[in-house]
Amino acid sequence: MTSFEKTTTSNEEAPADGHGKAGKAAAEKAILEAFGGFWGMVDTTVPGLVFVLIYTIKRDIHTAAIIALGLTVLLALVRLARRETLKHAFSGVFGVAIGAVFAMMSGDAKNFYLPGMLYTLGLAVVYVLSALFRFPLIGVLLGPILRENLSWRTRNPGRFKAYTKSTYAWGFILLAKSAILFPLYWWGDATQLGWVKVALGIPPFLLCVYLTWIFLAKAPAPIDVIAEMEAKEKAEADASGV
């Protein structure tokens, strides 16, 4: 059990409003890990940086795309060797591979970035719609990690509100990112698009994580439904004499 999970069941470690220092630190760590953490940022940023750097120097789409794809595969292998989750690494390899194929087949280096841009735009729309329909995606993603599952929807209105705010924040920030990148895709050149995309890789992500942490730090503590189920099963077992 993590330090955050313990704060949900002990009034001595964290106050009822969930503002304990241990709870905040663990919540921040959980949020970062849910979206890939440090290595997730590396997986999504470095290949694009390498592509635009090589293309700026050599003006060769094939060379830049192949080197970027090779680097992505190498990062995945490093994760495998370190026995870390490959979920974000595989998504990075898949995204870079599609971008590389698009760029090489079309002869337009800007198309290396198009799949990722479309993914970001689609994800932004999903975030906003999920919040509008009262099923905020951030809550769906973080609920299992924080052992509350979907209890926040019916039993914890304060967290429901925080998850809704967080989901809107992710959606609108990603929409703003798309509003900057797509005009460059249509009217700018490949190097302009590439460098701006690299510059917009990490800061928006960190802003989204920070806002999510702020909203959740002010929300009530999560209800540990896993602990509740375990306690219920233990009580039933004790009652039956098992």
Question: What are the pLDDT digits (tens) for 109-128?
Answer: 999 999 999 999 999 999 99
Question: What are the pLDDT digits (tens) for 8-55?
Answer: 443 333 343 444 454 555 566 666 666 666 667 777 788 888 999 999
Residue 47: CB atoms within 10 Å? 29
Q: Given a cut of 60, is residue 179 above it in pLDDT?
A: yes
> What does the alpha-carbon distance between residue 231 and residue 216 come to, in Å, rounded to a whole number?
26
pLDDT value of position 5: 39
Helical (H) or strand (E) element with 134 = none
pLDDT value of position 89: 63
> What does the alpha-carbon distance between residue 53 and residue 215 come to, in Å, rounded to a whole number?
37
Q: Which tokens in the block code for residue 144?
A: 């299992």
Q: Which tokens in the block code for residue 103?
A: 């760029």
Question: Tell me, what DSSP letter sits at residue 113?
Answer: T
> What does the alpha-carbon distance between residue 178 and residue 165 come to, in Å, rounded to a whole number?
20
Q: Given a cut of 90, is residue 201 above it in pLDDT?
A: no
pLDDT value of position 24: 58
- Residue 54 corresponds to which amino acid? I
